[in-house]
Amino acid sequence: MYILGMESSCDETSAAVVEMSDGVRAIRSNIVASQIETHRLYGGVVPEIASRAHVEAISRITYEALETAGITLSDVGAIAVTAFPGLIGALLVGVNFAKSLAFSHRIPLVAVNHIHGHVAAAYLTHPTLEPPFLALVVSGGHTSFYRVTDYTDFCEIGGTRDDAAGEAFDKIGRVIGLPYPGGAALDKLAYEGDPKAITLPSPALGGDTPDLSFSGIKTATLNYLNGMAQKGCEISRADVAASYTHRIVQAIVKKTELALKKSGMRTLVLAGGVAANSHLRTALEALCKRLGVTLCMPDRALCGDNGAMIAAAGYFRYQRGEFADTSLNASANDDGL
């Protein structure tokens, strides 16, 4: 069946057509209208601007997705839309558009948790992947470990106590003058620096839990940068990028090993925007090889927000008969996880 997936939780408006059935997981189209250039002017996402840009793009993107897939609305078996978590105004645009489309064309509607969507991107890249597994979702808003026991059953077993890894990358990226969002640029710059040049605190919290905290390393890096500026010393941006990335990746790997041990899972799924980080991918590959654990990561192009991942997650809710109706509302929080 064809699922139309719609995503508008933050700064990408996306619509996609994914074909899903037993043995078939194929992306027929995946159109993403990014607002990054607009928000870059402000150094971060401006919620009101994001909502307006979603309104402007959503209809065009949806029909482009259908046209690229070579189908019409009458071929669509279900519409899946991100309903939470995210920016409330941005989410409402997608939810209301999807509701109108679904009810005017009598197409079943499915509400999708954005986090489940990120994890579902792995099903598209790895056609034989199935639960149970441990999922590590690292994005701009989340850094969490989940025991995934069925396609729609997630249990959070640990994660960050404060900021998300993506947020931490973006913050330091901005401070050292990289364009927003700093994650991808920091990833590249880190190859040019020395990961041992600056001593920074580990984001891995002490104790026997897979928990992290990124506020300490952020503050320590800011203090280092301010201290150097006060002394009139030049800094190496590449050394900052390399040391910061190294410490974050090292902590995530350490806690992933613990989460695997605690959950007893033998498969790890890495998902979310930060899953595109090449240092993290390489380090987790090494960890999983050492532990004999199967690692499934979405293609880098599917790590960021996109409609295809929402369609894939929506398919499994559809299969369970979990439909939404006209009372569907968006929520900024993780309700329903």
Residue 277 binding ligand KG4, by CB under 6 A: yes
Residue 203 binds which of Zn ion, ligand KG4, none (CB < 5-8 A, kind-dependent): none
Question: In the complex, what is the shortest distance from the CB of residue 96 to ligand KG4, in angstroms, rounded to a whole number?
Answer: 20
Question: In the complex, what is the shortest distance from the CB of residue 182 to Zn ion, in angstroms, rounded to a whole number?
Answer: 16
Closest by alpha carbon to 77, among 335, 240, 317?
Answer: 317
Single out the residue of 124, 251, 265, 276 in contact with ligand KG4 (rule: CB under 6 A). 276
Residue 184 binding ligand KG4, by CB under 6 A: yes
Residue 210 binding ligand KG4, by CB under 6 A: no
3-state secondary structure of 161: coil
Single out the residue of 89, 272, 298, 307 in contact with ligand KG4 (rule: CB under 6 A). 272
What's the distance, CA 244 to chain centroid?
20
Residue 169 binding ligand KG4, by CB under 6 A: yes
Tally of CB atoms within 10 A around 65: 26
Total residues at interface with Zn ion (CB under 5 A): 2
Q: What does the alpha-carbon distance between residue 187 and residue 202 come to, in Å, rounded to a whole number? A: 18
Question: Do 131 and 151 contact (CB within 8 A), yes or no?
Answer: yes
CA 27 to each of CA 1, 15, 211: distance values in angstroms, whole numbers, following the listed order: 12, 11, 35
Q: What does the alpha-carbon distance between residue 190 and residue 186 come to, in Å, rounded to a whole number? A: 6
**Token pair recorded at residue 46:** 């401006």
Q: What does the alpha-carbon distance between residue 276 and residue 94 come to, in Å, rounded to a whole number? A: 25
187-206 residues near ligand KG4, rule: CB under 6 A:
187
User: Helices 182-189 and 165-175 meet at what angle, rounded to 10?
Assistant: 70
The nearer residue to Zn ion, 139 or 267, going by C-beta atoms, is: 139
Question: In the complex, what is the shortest distance from the CB of residue 232 to ligand KG4, in angstroms, rounded to a whole number?
Answer: 31
First to last CA, the chain: 26
Single out the residue of 4, 6, 10, 79 in contact with ligand KG4 (rule: CB under 6 A). 10
Question: In the complex, what is the shortest distance from the CB of residue 139 to ligand KG4, in angstroms, rounded to a whole number?
Answer: 3
Residue 305 binding Zn ion, by CB under 5 A: yes
Closest by alpha carbon to 142, among 123, 121, 116?
Answer: 116
| Region from 60-68, 179-187, 204-212, 220-228 binding ligand KG4, contact rule CB under 6 A | 179-187
**Omega cis (within 30) before 210:** no
130-149 residues near Zn ion, rule: CB under 5 A:
139
Single out the residue of 89, 203, 304, 307 in contact with ligand KG4 (rule: CB under 6 A). 304
Residue 140 binding ligand KG4, by CB under 6 A: yes
Q: Work out the widest C-alpha separation in the chain, in whole angstroms.
A: 67
Question: In the complex, what is the shortest distance from the CB of residue 171 to Zn ion, in angstroms, rounded to a whole number?
Answer: 17
Footprint on this chain of ligand KG4 (rule: CB under 6 A): 10, 139-141, 166, 169-170, 181-184, 187, 272-274, 276-277, 304-305
